[in-house]
């Protein structure tokens, strides 16, 4: 029989290297799959298109960054709560509400020019996301309702709310009654930071937010508080940390950031509110956060990696007519190998000769 | 560098451009790309487009190289996919409404590439729109449903409350009512184009509400399978779904995009492509029907066939007044038929007699 025995000491080097190891294993597995399903000549070029082209092509690279930005921002917010053991699974819902709130402000001031409009929209989206997440915080603190269920269920409510808004008050009056908003005017659109691409200022802000989160977790008392609450709840209580505050702040931060990401999506690449606003960023960001071991700087890299799988996956679909599930397979393998590596770091495998 | 030398270089380069251009027209195949919202295996909307692509490929042979990409969500990702395709193709077809604004954006950035958007309303010099008068198909299946229902309840699985879907519901209801005054229509909105699980749930919910004939404006065969299993009737959507409902499928509305795709790609090859606005129906052969099931009474079958003939000769219009809106306010006067714009293309109301609530 095979047994897993906890290791006394976890290798520091392996903890740092395991994401790379997982990536290598994923790449090798992908290669094996390609060898089985493709002609020999194509294998290397498919591999190149999937993993390298998005990093070197002048059109695809900025697109990769565009795709990574919302994952990064949402992943950051989630990682803070996850550290404290607060499981906000419904960032997707807060993202949608943030997008609606920010977008509604932009549409309310339609064709009004002004530098103040974008900050106002951003503020609205953050508040929207926070308020939406605070429902789960309230229910958890007041009635001990599990926040996993509440946040997840509220995601569906948010998506329905979006379609109600697009059927009603936010619908484009000149849009043939299709459920879409007007296209935002220039003052309500995020500035482009790379001429001729869709790369917007939100990406820079995402990087800045990662740095802020890093320092915050390291230096600020709240960082310590969530860490201890997550790893040793009883110790946190003895230390006098307020459990309710941790719940509230974790959900407010993750909700606010998810809301901000929704606004970036609406005012960035989308440029309007449509039923296509929700696109699983809120759920994919959970993978992003865990691949990074909840580390803010790690999240920068893991969000880029997941974005690579999307952009590269699309390209191989276009170039080589491979099925679209290639992206999911890649993401699934990555997470699987990563978790497997983690298990092997924490435990050692012992072959037990005698039967139990 | 002397002036003469410079001018000779200029001439040479001009000549080579001309040569390159002319050789392009005669030798190189047209590169055509298609963006699909669902999987080609949906056996509905996307499947029908893919059949059209295969038809066009067969017709044009080596003159065309086809690229298709499936499961492209109607969000900001689609703009990246469309751009990637525009970089490598001569003509790009985007086959769902939600691609409209991304297609417009990309079309503006790639003025030399031709674009074709299905079911939208935005035109550019290098962007055509095309759609089919599916509501004519609904007129035929509405009549059949009105005759075949015993419970007088028709179940309708609807995707999104957009004009195209609303037109279908109204058209089917009016046709059913014309042959069966007691008929009612129950609508379930699933807010997706393709989700077999949700579509099956909706089908079961409608059956629980008494429906014994199902119609759908979604893309999978799930409802057809449910209908077959429960022993009731349904209609194929976008393609022939006979395989999933050999007894259940009375007929089906088939979207035949093939000839259109072949024509448009050939126009690019011949250099005659211009931006156009196409809204074609039974008459033009863009809307066709699956074979009528033999389990239908002959009178019903004959009536349906006659209706198809009338539509193909332009003798009937599914929306012929007098028709009131759901709230009782008049829409069309006696004998009046609606114009494409605004009435058909922006339709956002139910007609009188439908007792479901309009989704808001």
Inter-residue contact A43 to A35 (CB < 8 Å): yes
Residues in B whose CB is inside 8 Å of some CB of A read 33, 39, 67-71, 73-81, 83-85, 87-88, 97-98, 101, 105, 121, 160-163, 191, 342, 345-348, 359-360
Query: Residue A276: its chain B contacts at CB < 8 A?
Result: 73-76, 78, 98
Q: Does A323 touch chain B (CB under 8 A)?
A: yes
Residue B10 has pLDDT above 70, yes or no: no
Query: Residue A321: its chain B contacts at CB < 8 A?
Result: 67-68
Q: What residues of chain A, 193 to 222, have a C-beta less than 8 Å from chain B?
A: 198
How far is B201 from chain A, CA to nearest CA, in Å?
17
Name the β-bridge partners of B273.
none
Q: Which positions of chain A have pLDDT values less than 50?
A: none
- The pLDDT of residue A1: 72
Query: Residue A162: its chain B contacts at CB < 8 A?
Result: none
Inter-residue contact B223 to B214 (CB < 8 Å): yes
Helix or strand (DSSP H, E) at B236: strand B233-238
Residue B5 has pLDDT above 90, yes or no: no
A283: tokens are: 């759920």
The pLDDT tens digits of the residues spanning A145-193 come to 999 999 999 999 999 999 999 988 999 998 888 889 999 999 999 999 9
If DSSP codes are grouped into helix, strand and coil, which group holds residue B89? coil
CA B78 – CA B72 distance, rounded (Å): 6
Residue A119 CB: number of other CB atoms within 10 A? 10
Residue B110 has pLDDT above 70, yes or no: yes
- The pLDDT of residue A35: 86
Nearest by Cα to B273 from B59, B25, B83: B25
Helix or strand (DSSP H, E) at B242: none
CB-CB under 8 Å, B84 with A59: yes
How many pairs of residues across A and B have Cβ atoms under 8 Å apart? Answer: 88
- pTM, 2 dp: 0.87
DSSP assignment letter at A176: T
Instruction: Tell me the torsion sign for CA atoms A44, A49, A53, A55.
Output: negative
For the segment B116-137, the average pLDDT, to the nearest whole number, is 96
- The pLDDT of residue B353: 93
- The pLDDT of residue B61: 95
Among candidates B68, B101, B191 on the partner chain, residue whose Cβ is nearest the Cβ of A163: B191
Residue B271 has pLDDT above 90, yes or no: yes
CA B131 – CA B346 distance, rounded (Å): 14
CA B146 – CA A171 distance, rounded (Å): 35
B205: tokens are: 């919910």
Q: Provide the pairing of β-strand B184-189 with B277-280.
A: unpaired
CA B72 – CA A62 distance, rounded (Å): 20
Taking CA atoms, B193 is separated from A175, A178, B39, B69, B160, in Å, by 20, 15, 11, 17, 8
Nearest by Cα to B273 from B28, B92, B122, B57: B92
Q: Does A269 touch chain B (CB under 8 A)?
A: yes
- Alpha-carbon dihedral angle through residues A220, A201, A134, A216, given to the nearest 10 degrees: -10
- The DSSP string of B40-54 is GGGSSHHHHHHHHHH
Helix or strand (DSSP H, E) at A194: none
For the segment B49-78, the average pLDDT, to the nearest whole number, is 95
Q: Which residue does chain A place closest to B82, by CA atoms?
A: A318
- The pLDDT of residue A353: 65
Query: Residue A177: its chain B contacts at CB < 8 A?
Result: 162-163, 346-348
How far is B325 from chain A, CA to nearest CA, in Å?
16
How far is B74 from chain A, CA to nearest CA, in Å?
5
Among candidates B74, B88, B345 on the partner chain, residue whose Cβ is nearest the Cβ of A276: B74
Nearest by Cα to A64 from A301, A282, A292: A301
Nearest by Cα to A240 from A224, A253, A217: A224
CA B98 – CA A232 distance, rounded (Å): 49
Nearest by Cα to A268 from A174, A181, A209, A193: A193
Helix or strand (DSSP H, E) at B100: helix B100-109
Nearest by Cα to A77 from A264, A268, A329, A305: A264
Among candidates B105, B121, B162 on the partner chain, residue whose Cβ is nearest the Cβ of A179: B162
SS3 content of chain A, % helix, strand, coil (to 5): 70, 5, 25
pLDDT band (50, 70, 90) for residue B289: very high
How far is A279 from chain B, CA to nearest CA, in Å?
7
The pLDDT tens digits of the residues spanning A111-157 come to 999 999 999 999 999 999 999 999 999 999 999 999 999 999 999 99
Residue A335 CB: number of other CB atoms within 10 A? 17
- The pLDDT of residue A325: 80
Taking CA atoms, A206 is separated from A79, A121, B280, in Å, by 14, 17, 48
Inter-residue contact B57 to B29 (CB < 8 Å): no
- The DSSP string of A23-61 is HHHHHHHHHHHHHHHS-HHHHHHHHHHHHTHHHH-TTHH
For the segment B315-320, the average pLDDT, to the nearest whole number, is 96
- The pLDDT of residue A354: 60
CB-CB under 8 Å, B101 with A272: yes
The pLDDT tens digits of the residues spanning B221-263 come to 999 999 999 999 999 999 999 999 999 999 999 999 999 999 9
Helical pair A12-37 and A40-51, crossing angle rounded to 10 deg: 140
Residue B354 CB: number of other CB atoms within 10 A? 21
Taking CA atoms, B141 is separated from A107, A227, B147, B312, B318, in Å, by 41, 63, 10, 15, 12
Residue with tokens 């802000």: A205
How far is B118 from chain A, CA to nearest CA, in Å?
14
- The pLDDT of residue B20: 45
Among candidates B76, B80, B163 on the partner chain, residue whose Cβ is nearest the Cβ of A177: B163
């Amino acid at each position: 029989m095979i047994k897993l025995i906890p290791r006394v000491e976890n290798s520091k080097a392996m903890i740092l290297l395991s994401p790379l190891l997982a990536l290598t294993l994923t790449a090798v597995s992908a290669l094996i799959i390609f060898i089985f399903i493709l002609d020999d000549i194509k294998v290397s070029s498919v591999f190149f298109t999937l993993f390298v082209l998005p990093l070197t092509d002048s059109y695809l690279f900025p697109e990769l960054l565009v795709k990574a930005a919302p994952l990064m921002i949402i992943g950051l917010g989630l990682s803070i709560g996850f550290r404290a053991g607060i499981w906000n699974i419904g960032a997707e819902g807060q993202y949608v509400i943030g997008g609606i709130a920010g977008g509604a402000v932009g549409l309310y001031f339609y064709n009004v020019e002004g530098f103040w409009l974008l900050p106002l929209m951003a503020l609205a989206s953050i508040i929207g996301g926070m308020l939406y997440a605070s429902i789960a915080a309230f229910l958890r603190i007041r009635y001990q309702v599990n926040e996993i269920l509440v946040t997840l269920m509220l995601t569906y409510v948010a998506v329905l709310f979006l379609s109600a808004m697009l059927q009603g008050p936010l619908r484009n009056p000149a849009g043939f009654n299709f459920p879409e908003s007007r296209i935002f005017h220039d003052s309500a659109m995020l500035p482009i930071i790379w001429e001729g691409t869709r790369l917007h200022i939100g990406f820079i802000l995402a990087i800045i937010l990662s740095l802020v989160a890093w320092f915050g977790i390291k230096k600020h008392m709240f960082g310590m508080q969530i860490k201890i609450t997550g790893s040793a709840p009883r110790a946190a209580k003895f230390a006098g940390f307020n459990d309710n505050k941790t719940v509230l702040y974790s959900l407010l931060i993750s909700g606010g950031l998810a809301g901000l990401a929704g606004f970036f999506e609406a005012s960035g690449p989308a440029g309007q509110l449509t039923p296509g606003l929700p696109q699983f960023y809120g759920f994919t960001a959970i993978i992003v956060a865990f691949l990074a071991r909840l580390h803010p700087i790690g999240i920068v890299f893991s969000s880029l990696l997941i974005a690579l799988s999307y952009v590269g996956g699309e390209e191989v679909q276009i170039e080589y007519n491979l099925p679209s599930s290639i992206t999911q397979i890649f993401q699934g393998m990555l997470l699987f190998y990563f978790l497997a590596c983690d298990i092997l770091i924490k435990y050692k495998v012992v072959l037990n000769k005698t039967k139990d | 560098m002397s002036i003469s030398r410079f001018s000779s270089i200029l001439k040479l380069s001009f000549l080579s451009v001309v040569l390159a251009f002319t050789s392009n027209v005669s030798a190189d195949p047209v590169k055509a790309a298609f963006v699909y919202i669902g999987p080609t295996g949906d056996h509905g909307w996307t499947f029908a487009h893919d059949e059209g692509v295969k038809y066009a490929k067969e017709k044009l042979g080596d003159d065309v190289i086809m690229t298709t990409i499936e499961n492209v969500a109607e969000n900001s990702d689609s703009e990246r996919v469309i751009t990637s395709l525009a970089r490598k193709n001569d003509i790009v077809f985007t086959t769902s409404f939600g691609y409209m604004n991304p297609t417009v954006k990309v079309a503006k950035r790639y003025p030399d590439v031709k674009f074709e958007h299905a079911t939208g309303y935005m035109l550019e010099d290098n962007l055509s729109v095309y759609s089919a008068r599916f509501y004519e198909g609904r007129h035929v299946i509405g009549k059949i449903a009105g005759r075949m229902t015993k419970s007088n309840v028709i179940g309708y699985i609807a995707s999104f409350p957009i004009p195209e879907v609303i037109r279908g519901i109204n058209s089917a209801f009016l046709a059913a009512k014309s042959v069966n005054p007691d008929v009612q229509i129950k609508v379930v909105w699933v807010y997706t184009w393709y989700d077999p699980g949700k579509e099956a749930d909706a089908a079961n919910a409608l059956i629980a509400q008494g429906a014994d004939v199902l119609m759908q404006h979604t893309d999978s065969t799930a409802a057809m399978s449910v209908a077959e299993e429960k022993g009731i009737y349904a209609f194929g959507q976008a393609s022939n779904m006979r395989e999933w409902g050999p007894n259940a499928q009375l007929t089906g509305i088939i979207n035949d995009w093939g000839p259109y795709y072949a024509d448009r790609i050939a126009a690019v090859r011949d250099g005659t492509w211009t931006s156009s606005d196409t809204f074609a129906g039974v008459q033009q052969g863009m809307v066709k029907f699956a074979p009528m099931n033999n389990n239908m009474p002959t009178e019903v079958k004959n009536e349906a066939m006659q209706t198809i003939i009338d539509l193909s000769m332009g003798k009937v219009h599914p929306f012929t007044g007098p028709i009131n809106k759901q709230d009782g306010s008049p829409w069309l006067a006696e004998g009046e038929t609606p114009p494409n714009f605004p009435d058909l293309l922006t339709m956002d109301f139910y007609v009188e007699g439908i007792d479901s609530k309009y989704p808001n």
